[in-house]
Structure 1
Amino acid sequence: MNPANLTDTSKLCVHTITTKPWNIEEAAKNFSAAGVKGITVWRDTLAGRNIRQTGQMLRDYDLSIVSLCRGGFFPSIDSNKWAAAIDDNRKAIGEAHELGTSMIVLVCGADPSQPLEESRKQIRDGIQAVLPEAAAAGVKLAIEPLHPMYADTRSAINTLAQANDMAENINSPFVGVAVDVYHLWWDPSLEKEIKRCGANGNLSAFHICDWKVPTTDFLNDRGLMGEGCIPVKEIRSWVEATGFTGFNEVEIFSTSYWKEDQHEFLGKIVKAYKECS
């Protein structure tokens, strides 16, 4: 690593879910004071707020609004739930536009009462259904593959190859892929698929954290970079080798860290980012 990078936080983004106890105003103020330059906004933090004014508040703190999280959850054997998911994704596109971000991360969903292939078809159909609204708003839909342990209900897209296949099949400048090390570090095809993603111009987002050993909760026990077994630096080098110049987004779900003083936790995030990613 270039020694200059040890103090460089110009590409550091933190998700609002990472510091979940803070409301969005607290997160903006404290991220900015810590030298964080990007923020990914989770939709729950916007409840009851004027979204356009919230976006301006974030920019006033000199924060780039990297993306809105999350859309997706398309598949359902119930046609009414399917229709509700389409409506909710259209709502998310409107929120992203009001907020002033050009990307929504999709946690695509799955329905365990039907085959995975049917869920994947519904994901593709769902993205295509809302694509006209996304294009009109200038908002890219980033397909995020999730670890196979989530294939029951959270996502039927479980490898980067599957996400690449879908993005290439849809073939729109408003559909891309989000790479999250937590979900993909185990995949022996990861480097090859990152190269493929970059070559096709579909690499839209890069999320980082670490996998604790042993983990105590597959959802809410993510670690700081350098705290587990994910080769974060190596994966980041593959991403950057594609020409990706976007943010490195720290996304940590952690019951234990949410119980800590969030100012101290944010300090740990910045330190881990500088030293271990």
Structure 2
Amino acid sequence: MPTDLSKLCVHTITTKPWSLDVAVDKYAAAGVAGISVWQDAATSVGLTQARRILEASPLEVVSYVRGGFFPNHSREERARALDKNRQLIDEAATLGAPLLVLVCGAEPRQPLAESRRQIQEGIESLIDHATSNGVKLAIEPLHPMYADTRSAISTLGQANDIAEAIDHPQVGIAVDVYHLWWDDRLEQEIARCGKNDNLYAFHICDWKVPTSDMLLDRGLMGEGCIDVPLIRSWVEAAGFRGYNEVEIFSNDYWAMEQDDFLARITDAYRAHS
């Protein structure tokens, strides 16, 4: 288990009721070392002010969330998605974020294989722009329950296939335990990331039992059925030395006093990560 908070990062969406300036101050005061910034948190204060807030803080900016949503029946809509992602890359660079996380999307009116082809094509189209801005791209596979519209990439194996086909150091993988804990090939696929040196992010939370909402009822580490320490041991064995990023969507936790919630996050991180 972690003995300190030096590798703890919190996503701004986790403490959604807090504005960016409040989140930055509260995280730093609690000893959190990193922050992953969601677009709404940055644009609500303006990118210039958001950068000032982040630069004045001891927190390391770990990633910007989220790009993607590449597949579409319409060529024009796919082109608009690429423009949107270029904008997000620009925003990440403005904030000093080295990584843009990609929730890759899916088009329910076409086969998943076609959506995956469009995802690969879309990511390849962004590489030059990402490289020139110093922003890496992380493919995040999502749980199969989101395969209709949120992501045609449901397993780490599928993400690895696409990353290997692209074969560019600007493109890697984000592993989120909420989406991947059920996969019986998870350990092998994480090791595969290690061999390719492309494991760029590691997100943690827990799957509550029973869960009341597939999107908005994530739990704190140790609150559900995910063996977070075991999966963390696999990513570390694969050579990952980055942050453990707490990313929790929860109506219950957003409704509570956020100072108390942040204290629970740090306690759970020490005890169950």
TM value normalised by structure 2: 0.98
Identity of aligned residues (%): 61
Alignment correspondent of 1:38: 34
Q: Which one of 191, 194, 197 corresponds to residue 198 of structure 1? A: 194
Given that 1:52 and 1:100 are in contact with CA atoms closer than 8 Å, whether structure 2 keeps it comes out as no
Q: Which one of 104, 112, 115 corresponds to residue 111 of structure 2? A: 115
Matches within 5 A, 1:175-186: 175-186=171-182
Count of residues paired in the alignment: 273
Distance of 1:140 and 1:58 partners within structure 2: 19
Q: Which one of 251, 256, 260 corresponds to residue 260 of structure 1? A: 256
| AA at the equivalent of 1:24 | L
Q: Which one of 129, 135, 138 corresponds to residue 134 of structure 2? A: 138
Distance of 1:62 and 1:25 partners within structure 2: 13
Distance of 1:189 and 1:56 partners within structure 2: 43
Distance of 2:61 and 2:47 partners within structure 1: 12
| CA deviation after TM superposition for structure 1 residue 276, in Å | 0.4
Q: Considering only aligned residues, what root-mean-square deviation do their CA atoms show, in Å?
A: 0.9
Matches within 5 A, 1:30-179: 30-179=26-175
* 3-state secondary structure, aligned to 1:17: helix
Distance of 2:46 and 2:108 partners within structure 1: 36
Given that 1:222 and 1:253 are in contact with CA atoms closer than 8 Å, whether structure 2 keeps it comes out as yes
Structure 2 residue 33 is matched with structure 1 residue 27: no
The ranges of structure 1 where at least 4 consecutive aligned residues each deviate by more than 4 angstroms after the TM superposition are: none
| AA at the equivalent of 1:58 | L
Change (3 A) 1:48 1:180: closer
Structure 2 residue 228 is matched with structure 1 residue 232: yes
| AA at the equivalent of 1:237 | S
| CA deviation after TM superposition for structure 1 residue 50, in Å | 4.0
Structure 2 residue 247 is matched with structure 1 residue 216: no
Given that 2:102 and 2:139 are in contact with CA atoms closer than 8 Å, whether structure 1 keeps it comes out as yes
* 3-state secondary structure, aligned to 2:21: helix
| CA deviation after TM superposition for structure 1 residue 230, in Å | 0.2
| CA deviation after TM superposition for structure 1 residue 47, in Å | 1.7
| CA deviation after TM superposition for structure 1 residue 52, in Å | 4.2
Alignment correspondent of 1:16: 12
TM value normalised by structure 1: 0.97
Gaps of 5+ in 1: none
Given that 2:54 and 2:95 are in contact with CA atoms closer than 8 Å, whether structure 1 keeps it comes out as no
Distance of 1:104 and 1:223 partners within structure 2: 24
| CA deviation after TM superposition for structure 1 residue 49, in Å | 3.4
| CA deviation after TM superposition for structure 1 residue 79, in Å | 2.1
| AA at the equivalent of 1:209 | C
| CA deviation after TM superposition for structure 1 residue 93, in Å | 0.5
Distance of 2:143 and 2:46 partners within structure 1: 34
| CA deviation after TM superposition for structure 1 residue 156, in Å | 0.2
Could you list the per-position Cα deviations for residues 59-101 of structure 1 after superposition, in whole angstroms to 9, with x for gaps in the alignment? Answer: 3220000000000000000222211111000000000110001
Could you list the per-position Cα deviations for residues 180-236 of structure 1 after superposition, in whole angstroms to 9, with x for gaps in the alignment? Answer: 000000000000000010111110000000000000000000000000000000000
